[in-house]
Amino acid sequence: MSSHYEAPIREPLVLGDKSYHDITVDIAKPIEGKANKNWYIAFTISLIAFLWGLGCITFTIGTGIGTWGLNKNIGWAWDITNFVWWVGIGHAGTLISAVLLLFRQRWRMAINRSSEAMTIFAVFQAGLFPIIHMGRPWDAYWVLPIPNQFGSLWVNFNSPLLWDVFAISTYLSVSLVFWWTGLLPDFAMLRDRAIKPFQKKIYALLSFGWSGRAKDWQRFEEVSLVLAGLATPLVLSVHTIVSMDFATSINPGWHSTIFPPYFVAGAIFSGFAMVQTLLGIMRKVTNLENYITRLHVEYMNMVIMLTGGIVAVAYASEFFIAWYTGSPYENFTYMSVGAATGPYGWAFWSLILFNILIPQLLWIRKFRRSFIASFIISIAINIGMWFERFDIIAIVLSKGHLPSTWTRFEPTFVDVGIFIGTIGFFGVLFLLYARTFPVIAQAEVKSIMKVSGENYKKLRDGNHE
């Protein structure tokens, strides 16, 4: 047992007296059992929201982008806000599985599967917005570098918008194979347990015939490690490039060299907040309280505090520089006295409240380790991060270089409807996932049981005394 040693001072990651078989049973239970009433209620609400959004998308495409609240000065508003918000949420999953794998953090194993699922579903939603905003989504393939007859001949590799196409499609596809490769042994577990022939067939198909040979595991671990090494810079590159959509322009407030690191920190901040929100509900609904514990919540809150701190410092430096330049243009950026006292002051102060002030509660250990407090704070951060993007986009565009062009952005019901629709679509996907996929990487959890399982730790620590 000496190879399984872990300092007794470390809290266990898996609670209760669990054997390997117990883990199998616990993870398979939500899939093999029947959905309860709450699941159906949540699914129905999500589905209605999704259908409403679909209606708004159809209306937009049928009538035109004029159905949105955009005008000639504010050509980007809710759509890009939502795009950046969803991409940001999509940052936690691969960060958890890739960066935490490189740092050998065992606590990632309870949450990596669901946060990767969240990543993939969030990036789906993000991808919808630029495609809808094209107005002619059937021409979306024009962003691909293919020989063509329709004008520009080739795509423009100098443009950050095209970098985005490459970054997000690489991110989505690499996250998907990373997720799926990790799922193979768990699908195999479900396949070998399935009693109903149809279920067995489906999981046999999904598991790609995984058999668990020693050589397969050796390759599996090497592939996971290399994918983590590749995905880590990839995660950082995606939001860097999203920030360049703004930073390479010449608008005061957007043309800022700190955007890439600041956006990446903000993305991780919002991504972890969304993981906190989703897992806070999921651990209860699927009875996985022994796997997603207080300790996991506390660790995630620590990441939130770190990245939230980086974001707060970025706001402070933007605000300071806006004032310090003495440039009148800078007084109308999203982080300036002008913004705080201007017509969008409510959006400015919402950002400060939700993104900076409320997360400071996490300095208190009691809140950091409380499920309810973490859940509420995570919702506040989700709202705050939405306002951050809205402020950066709408406030900056509403005050252009010429005061005669100053204008306001008012969302229409279509803007709001599409946003609600993507939340519904996300909910539909996540709820279906929670009923059909192994929501915890059970093979990996089994491999750390002897190190971090409560029963094994007790057994071992008892021997020392």
Partner 1 sequence: MSNKVIHALYNDDDILMDAVKKVKAADHHIDEVFTPFPVHGLDKAMGLAPTKIAITAFLYGITGLSFAIWMTNYMMIEDWPQDIGGKPNFSWFSNMPAFVPILFELTIFFAAHLMVITFYMRSRIWPFKSAENPDVRTTDDHFLMEISIHDNEKELKSLLKETGAVEINVIENK
Query: Are 334 and 391 in contact, with CB atoms under 8 Å apart?
Result: yes
Among 71, 73, 170, 199, which residue sits at the site for partner 1 (rule: CB under 8 A)? Answer: 170
Packing angle, helices 78-89 and 413-436, rounded to 10: 20
10 Å CB burial of residue 270 (0-12, 13-18, 19+) is: buried
Structure tokens at 150: 């329709």
> For partner 1, which is the closer residue by CB, 179 or 426?
179
Per CB under 8 A, 101 contacts partner 1 = no
Q: Which of residues 147-166 bind partner 1 (CB under 8 A)?
A: 153-160, 162-163, 166
> For partner 1, which is the closer residue by CB, 63 or 211?
211
> For partner 1, which is the closer residue by CB, 100 or 414?
100
Cβ 422 to partner 1, closest distance in Å?
24
Per CB under 8 A, 454 contacts partner 1 = no
Which residue is listed with tokens 């306001």?
408
> For partner 1, which is the closer residue by CB, 30 or 185?
185
3-class SS of residue 14: strand
Q: Which of residues 381-440 bind partner 1 (CB under 8 A)?
A: none
> For partner 1, which is the closer residue by CB, 1 or 402?
1
Binding mask 230-269 for partner 1 (x = CB under 8 A): xx-xx--x---x--x-------------------------
> For partner 1, which is the closer residue by CB, 165 or 292?
165
> For partner 1, which is the closer residue by CB, 9 or 195?
195
The runs of H, that is alpha helices, within 329-453 are 337-341, 345-351, 365-368, 371-390, 396-398, 413-436, 442-452
Cβ 193 to partner 1, closest distance in Å?
7
Per CB under 8 A, 24 contacts partner 1 = yes
Per CB under 8 A, 16 contacts partner 1 = no
Distance CA 455, CA 25 (A): 17
Q: Which of residues 122-151 bind partner 1 (CB under 8 A)?
A: 145
DSSP 8-state assignment for residue 12:
P
* H/E segment holding residue 221: helix 214-247
> For partner 1, which is the closer residue by CB, 193 or 294?
193
Per CB under 8 A, 174 contacts partner 1 = yes
- What distances in angstroms separate CA 21 from CA 26, 42, 55, 449, one per listed residue? 9, 31, 47, 12
Distance CA 395, CA 389 (A): 10
Query: Are 367 and 373 in contact, with CB atoms under 8 Å apart?
Result: yes
Strand partners, 84: none
Q: Which stretch binds partner 1 (CB under 8 A): 80-88, 173-181, 293-301, 323-331?
A: 173-181
- Hey, how many other C-beta atoms are within 10 angstroms of the C-beta on 380? 17
Among 15, 61, 223, 306, which residue sits at the site for partner 1 (rule: CB under 8 A)? Answer: 223
| Residue (of 35, 39, 28, 36) closest to 200 by Cα position | 28
Kindly list the residues in this chain that would bind partner 1 in the complex (CB under 8 A): 1, 3, 19-21, 24, 145, 153-160, 162-163, 166-167, 170, 173-174, 177-178, 181, 184-185, 188-189, 191-193, 204-205, 207-223, 225-227, 230-231, 233-234, 237, 241, 244, 443-444, 446-447, 450
